[in-house]
């Protein structure tokens, strides 16, 4: 009987710890208006680095070290390069970023999902929406976003790691304006 009691006590304490982490992640998201961070992105073993700013809902500006730029104004996503004349325009809804950049959607999904603790360092939620599977990761200690894993618009596995995260900074909202296509 004593073993059964200890088992149930351990089971309930473990579940309450996970619930507490989940609740703190949700609270942290609710209190976040914007984030700025350095990133490292691995797509098919090609690693790119840079800096991003996200303003909820659905706005992002990323400047890669190789001069590539990604911008979303909340409706469209543009990928361009300062050095080349490449310019790609996509509806944001056709990309996994549409879900990652929607804080309210993330909160609703996380509320209904069971997360998993990874090495007592990270907490992971797997979100499945239509053809999008997103693994989103949070720090177990400060409950902040630390990265995500998706398939990109070309069906490539894309893993994004976040570092030097800053929240609720004053930002210039003009960075989220879609750049105009260069006519050569």
Compute the distance between CA of residue 132 and CA of residue 121 in angstroms, rounded to an integer.
25
Residue 118 contacts by C-beta under 8 Å, 6 or more apart in sequence?
A: 124, 137
71 C-beta neighbours (distance < 10 Å), count: 19
Q: Give the percent of the chain with pLDDT over 90.
A: 71
Residue 126 contacts residue 111 (beta carbons within 8 Å): no
What does the pLDDT average to over 78-99?
Answer: 89
The domains located in the chain, with CATH, are 22-176 (2.50.20.10)
Q: Give the percent of the chain with pLDDT over 70.
A: 87
Cis bond upstream, residue 57 (ω within 30): yes
Dihedral sign, Cα of residue 96, residue 97, residue 100, residue 105: negative
Compute the distance between CA of residue 171 and CA of residue 35 in angstroms, rounded to an integer.
9
Q: What is the pLDDT of residue 85?
A: 78
171-180 confidence digits (pLDDT tens) = 999 999 998 7
47-64 confidence digits (pLDDT tens) = 999 999 999 999 999 999
Percentages (nearest 5) of helix, strand, coil residues in the chain: 25, 45, 30
pTM of the predicted model as reported, rounded to 2 decimal places:
0.84
Question: And the tokens for 158?
Answer: 């894309």
What does the pLDDT average to over 126-153?
Answer: 90
Question: And the tokens for 135?
Answer: 């693994």
């Amino acid at each position: 009987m004593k073993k059964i009691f200890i088992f149930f006590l351990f089971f309930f304490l473990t579940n309450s710890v996970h619930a507490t982490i989940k609740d703190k992640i949700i609270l942290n998201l609710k209190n976040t208006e914007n984030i700025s961070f350095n990133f490292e992105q691995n797509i098919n073993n090609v690693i790119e680095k840079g800096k991003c700013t996200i303003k909820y809902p659905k706005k992002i500006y990323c400047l890669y070290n190789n001069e590539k730029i990604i911008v979303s104004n909340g409706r469209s996503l543009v990928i361009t390069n300062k050095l080349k004349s490449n310019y790609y325009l996509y509806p944001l809804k056709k990309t996994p970023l549409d879900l990652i950049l929607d804080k309210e959607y993330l909160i609703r999904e996380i509320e209904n999902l069971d997360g998993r603790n990874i090495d007592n360092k990270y907490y992971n939620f797997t979100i499945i929406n239509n053809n999008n599977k997103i693994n989103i990761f949070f720090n177990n200690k400060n409950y902040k976003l630390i990265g995500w894993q998706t398939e990109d618009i070309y069906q490539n596995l894309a893993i994004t790691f976040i570092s030097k995260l800053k929240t609720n900074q004053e930002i210039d909202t003009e960075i989220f304006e879609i750049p105009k296509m260069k006519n050569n």
